Structure formats: structure tokens, C-alpha cells
Amino acid sequence: MSLINTTYDVIVVGGGHAGSEAAAAAANMGAHTLLITMNLQNIAQMSCNPAMGGIAKGQIVREIDALGGYSAIVTDKTAIQFKMLNKSKGPAMWSPRAQSDRMQFAEAWRTMLEQTDNLDFYQDSVNGLLFDGNKIIGVKTVLGLEIKSKTVVVTAGTFLNGLIHIGDKSFGGGRAGEGASRGITEDLVAKGFESGRMKTGTPPRVDGRSLDYSKMTEQPGDEYTEKFSYLPITKKLTKQRSCWLTYTNPKVHDLLREGFERSPMFNGRIKSTGPRYCPSVEDKVNRFATKERHQIFVEPEGWTTCEMYVNGFSTSLPEDIQDKAIRSIEGFENVKFFRYGYAIEYDYFPPTQLTHSLETKLIKNLFFAGQINGTTGYEEAAAQGLMAGVNAALKVQEKDAFILKRNEAYIGVLIDDLITKGTEEPYRMFTSRAEYRTLLRQDNADLRLTPKAFELGLASKERMDRVLMKQEKTDLLINFLKETSVKKEEINPILESKNLALVNQSMKLFKIAARPQLSFSDFKNIQKLSVFIEEQNIDSEIIEQAEIHLKYSGYIEKEKNNADKLNRLENVTIPSKFDYQKVKSLSYEAREKLSKIQPTSISQASRISGVSPSDISVLLVYMGR
């Protein structure tokens, strides 16, 4: 079958995290899919730090897995360290994070994609898009091919007119050693799209053999490791590699300041906005001038390589300044560089130009995912890629779009934030962005999302059966705790060991287990419970679900009620292309913002910056409520 004479269901442009998840999702939905990327050796390359997950990001990876995506499985297969962050806080804040072997990660991704039915690959650079009026019909490549498709998902990462900066040097590129992509931005702007520029950066990579770890603090993984994927095909780590912690100091800061005049960040050569929550080291020194030190994490790039990632030292300063400054960090006195840090500027398209399905408003059947939408981070990109891939496939199948609400997933929060509020700086997910984070925990992503993915045909029957079993056994354990009484003679020794008030009568296990000072591990010697757990083959995952339910059921119920109230406004739809200018009772700012974003519901309209509660009241009256 000739590439040129084939009309694909879905073409995915770009093979990063967004493109890989998009291609896998579309193909698994039954769509004949083509993944076009500049270099097939760099599929799902970890361009920046070799890690997945973290605060809120770990929840996203779990959600991707629950929906049938590949990121969690690949992370588990290639992990070299695992940590559950925020374990001292409530379960809504628990966030898994894993260091990965960079080379194994890309290899595992490619292997999984090559084993995916309905997915073809082609190595070339897309330099243009094919349109038929306001509909996309394919792509053009540097080699002159025109490849037709019913839908196109653009996941170009940092490659759109990418420009790399090191000191006073600048050159075109999408990342170190790879060229920029030209032509797509120009085609889209000609069609009426608004574009902008953003910046991100990366730190030096150094030779671990040249570092003195005796001057650093070891950062090992968790003693009892977990994993990302809910499937049993991946295993928990039994051995791990440590990271290391050291700090900058006033001498380092003084040496960095020597390069400020030659820094593209300060001399005006970089005009775009960088990530607020992951600033370069020179930006930190400049903005927090009174702070005497900043953390530097030394992270291994894999099991066997000596290459180390210097997390916290992202920079675009000249090479000589990078060299001098880093040698003044404890443990780096004799450092050898593998490569210097750099900044990169690239094109993005403000995401208010998209619908909730990630389809563009201006061009039908064209979807955007990843950094093209103004986000930063592998996890945010992968989530968008999965959703764009699913919705491209559904569009071909003439089915309704798959949209997640804010109370259903962090992915829903991410996409709603982007298309409703837009972003003028690289968007990063945090738990604080989710108003229903007690509902959106990392432990229950499968219970929330796998049934939806199974209906789509994206999650396997095996995955769905495991979710049903998890729910069934959780309910079974909760009911046992509610119905089973234990004598005070069994309870009081436990309470006494915790310096808690004793009881003077038998009590239901449910009531005792709900106490915040106690955990399930405290009840291991209560015979009725231990026998029940063994007989019913209840594992630690089920126990965790039950314990969270016991301790936080009040908070969870309250959030569910709040979500239900707001979801009623989701059902108050606004006609497409509604003329807000004729509603004179609306404020001028509200008319302007609503006309630009064209929300699909009253609920979405209420989240637009500049639209006040009184404007929402006016709309509700106008819509007949």
C-alpha cells in the first residue's frame, strides 16, 4: 500500500510524549493511523529530566494508564527509582514520581508502538498542512510528499520555528542536535490563527565519574516501592539508583551574575515567557537576590550510564560562565561536561482557539496537543495527546467527542483551564488547580476512568475486570468493618500504644479504623480482621481504598455534592456562535471574552476570567433559566 495513495483516518505530526500517546490511542480505537516524526530513533525522547510524575503530574500519569494509555507502563518498565511524594499529607496530595532510564524509556515506547495494530510510521519533517476550505485534508513534507488524512493531530513540541540560545550564540533547532520545523506556523497563521512564542530551558549534563558524592546528601527511593500502572504486567522495583542533593552558594551566584550581560534572558534576545515554576538558575539568582542557596539535585540518566542530569541548574548562560559557576558547587569541583545547558524559544498557539475535544475552532478535523497549546511537561503533553488521539478517531467514526469534566480527572482540569482561560506562560499542573482534588486522587484513577475508557474501546476487558474486582472487594471490606464488632480487650492495647483514650465497651471496627491517629497496620493482630483479609485475598491496594473511604468519606461526599451543583450548569448549554453583543446587560469585558472563547455551557462561561457572577445571572435569564 503506497503512502502517497493512502488516505489515513488520523495523521499524528510529531513523535514526542503527546504524539506517541495520540498515535497509540487513535490506533487502539481502530483508526488507521500514521505517525510522522523527524527521527524514529527519538520517539518519546525525554528531552529534559529523566523522570515522570511528581506533584499533580503523577495523578495525570495514573489517569493516562486508567484510560488505556502507555506512559505508566513504559515508566514502570524503565524506572530506576520510585517515590510517593507528600505521603505525610492527606491522600489527595499523594503523588507518585519515578526516575527512568532515558535510553530504555524511548526504546520501550517504540517497542510498544510497533506492537500496536493499525499504526504506521514514517520518518520525515512536515512543513505544511493541506486544507479544503476550513477543513484539513492532510500534510506536506520536506521531501515533497502530500499525504492525505481525514484528521490531523499536530504535536510539534518545541520544534515550531525553534531557536536555541547559549550565551550570545543562537541557532535554529527543536532540541540539541535536531533541526527546527518550519512551515506549519505560517500555514496556520495564514488561516487566521493567533500564534505566540514561549521559552523553556534545560540544564547541563555532566560526567558522574567526575563528581564527589561524599560532599552531597544521598536521596534514595522509597523503601517500599509502588508503581504507576494498575496492570499486573509491570512490577515494583526491587533495586534502585539514588539521586543526590547539593546546593548553590553565594560564590556560585556571583559567578553567574558575571554572565548576566551576555545572557539572552537579560540582554533582550529572548523576548518570550518561560515557565514560572521551573525558572533558570540565573532567573532564580536575579529574582531571589537575598537567598543564599538553591537546591541542586543530581539525577542519574539510567542504570549503567555515568551521565548525570543537574536538576535545578537550567541555564542559557555562556559556556565559560556555566563552567566556572558549577565548579563552585560542593561536589562539582572537578566536573566534566557532557553538554552545556541551553534555552529554546518556539511557537505556540493560544489554546482558547480550541474546543474541549482539542479540535481547533477555525479548521475542522485539526487537533492540537502538547507544547503547541502552551503547556510544559511530559505528563501534560501525554494527557493531551491521548485525548486528541481519541477524539480524532471518534471524529472519523462520526461519534460524539470524549470530554472529561473537572470533577472527573486532572486531565479534565488541564484541558478546561487551557481552552477557557488560555495561558501566556508555559502551563504546569498543580494540585491547587483542581477544586475537587479529594475526588481526583492517584489511587482511584482506575475507578474513575477505566469504565469510560472501556466504553470507548480503549481499555481492555482485563483492565475493566480488575477495576470491577477492586470495587467489589473494597465494598466487601468496608461492609465487613461496618458490621463487625471487636471487644475492648482487643482494642485498648492498640489505643494504649498510641497514647489514645481507652474504650469501655465493644465497638464496630469501622468506628475505630476511622480515627485519624490509627492506620490499618495497627489492626494486624485483630484476629477477625486478619482472617477475613486472608480468606478474601484482599491486597494492600484494596486496604488503601477502604482506609481512605473510612477517614475521608465526609470530605469526599461534600466535594461530590459541590461538583453535582456545578455540573447542573454544565447542562445549561449555549448555542454555538451565540451573539453576545446583543445582550446589552452583559459587561463590555464579558461580551468581549465570551465572544472570543465561545463557551459551550454556562459552567464554562463562569470560569472565564473577566466574566462576573452578575454576567452569569444575565446569561441564565437569557437562556430561559
* % of the chain at pLDDT higher than 90: 69
Residue 398 has pLDDT above 90, yes or no: yes
Q: Residues 42-66: pLDDT tens digits?
A: 999 999 999 999 999 999 999 999 9
Q: Is the pLDDT of residue 37 over 90?
A: yes
Span 351-367, mean pLDDT? 97
Which of 137-141, 285-289, 456-460 comes out lowest in average pLDDT? 285-289
pLDDT at 623: 80
Q: Is 510 helix (H, G, I), strand (E, B) or coil?
A: helix
Sign for the pseudo-dihedral over CA of 543, 549, 550, 552: positive
The three cell numbers of residue 154 are 499536530
Who contacts 133 (Cβ-Cβ below 8 Å, separation ≥6)?
none
The pLDDT of residue 67 is 98
Q: For position 458, what pLDDT does the model report?
A: 95
The average pLDDT across 425-437 equals 91
The beta strands (E) that lie in 101-145 are given as 119-123, 126-132, 135-141
User: 128-142, 231-245, 560-574: which range is least confident on average?
Assistant: 560-574
Q: Looking at 44-53, 148-157, 450-459, 494-503, which range is the least confident one? A: 494-503
pLDDT at 1: 61
pLDDT band at 289 (very low <50, low <70, confident <90, very high): confident
Instruction: Identify the residue with better confidence: 526 or 19.
Output: 19
Alpha helices in 57-193 (DSSP H): 57-66, 71-78, 102-114, 184-190
Average pLDDT, the chain: 93
Number of other CB atoms surrounding residue 289 within 10 Å: 9
Q: Is the pLDDT assigned to residue 624 strictly greater than 80?
A: no
User: Which pLDDT score is estimated for 625?
Assistant: 52
Q: Which residue has the cell 527519538?
A: 42
Q: Are 544 and 513 in contact (CB under 8 A)?
A: no
